[in-house]
Amino acid sequence: MFTGIIEETGIIKAVKHGARSSQLTISAKRVVEDVKIGDSISTNGVCLTVTTFGKDDFTVDVMPETIRKTNFAQLKPGGAVNLERALRLMDRIGGHLVSGHIDGTGKISKRWEEDNAVWFTISAEDNVLRYLVDKGSVALDGISLTVTTVKPGSFSVSIIPHTQVVTTLLLKNTGDLLNIECDILAKYIEKLNGSRFSDRKIDMDFLAKNNFL
């Protein structure tokens, strides 16, 4: 589990392609300070397991399913990625709970500046947009962000100066793909509300009867 607060950006050192899989070696500093084999590191929002590591890099295996669901097929040596170590329970959660399991990708359809903020509009499929709400949370390439607006076919986010400096977002332009992870709470609520194992629906009457309203 992660928070979406990026610790550093790493550089792709090598990409070794398999038939449908790949192996990445990533240069880094902070996330390898206390790394162990088997540790999880969020890489552009994807939870990956460290298989080997050195003083200033680590290696991970990427499964075919991960390549199908993410923008990893576009990663090349020299490219930058957002990195975050797994959450420790004694840490403050500065972002939101991020599992590192990607729901899909979205394409940047618009980018513009407003004073100290940089705005992005991202086109996405309905199976992603259904879990997004205005002022809700979303992780883009592993970065915890607040959704400003949701419209048919797209949503927008506004990036503060700190996030501009410590992540890869300013390297992105219109047409680029971003990994998207929606708030896991929305998915659990949907499953509970529509589950055939549930004997009741969570609706306004249910909430009122149980003193939630």
| CATH number at 104-190 | 2.40.30.20
Question: Residue 18's pLDDT is what?
Answer: 92
The torsion angles phi and psi of 211, rounded to 5 degrees, stand at: 65, 30
What pLDDT is attached to residue 195? 55
SS (H, E, C) the chain: CECCCCCEEEEEEEEEECCCCEEEEEECCHHHCCCCCCCEEEECCEEEEEEEECCCEEEEEECHHHHHHCCHHHCCCCCEEEEEECCCCCCCCCCCCECCCCCEEEEEEEEEEECCEEEEEEECCHHHHCCCCCCCEEEECCEEEEEEEEECCEEEEEECHHHHHHCCHHHCCCCCEEEEEECHHHHHHHHHHHCCCCCCCCCHHHHHHCCCC
SS3 label, residue 187: helix
Task: Specify the pLDDT at position 190.
Answer: 82
Instruction: State the average pLDDT over residues 165-192.
Output: 93
Fold match between domain 8-85 and domain 104-190: yes
Percent of the chain with pLDDT over 70: 95
pTM: predicted TM-score of the whole model, two decimal places: 0.86
Q: How confident is residue 125, by pLDDT bands cut at 50, 70 and 90?
A: very high
Q: Is the pLDDT of residue 113 over 90?
A: yes
Number of Cβ atoms within 10 Å of the Cβ of 49? 11
According to the CATH classification, is domain 8-85 in 3.40.50.10190? no
Decide if pLDDT at 197 tops 50: no
pLDDT of residue 168: 97
* Residue extents of the structural domains in the chain: 8-85, 104-190
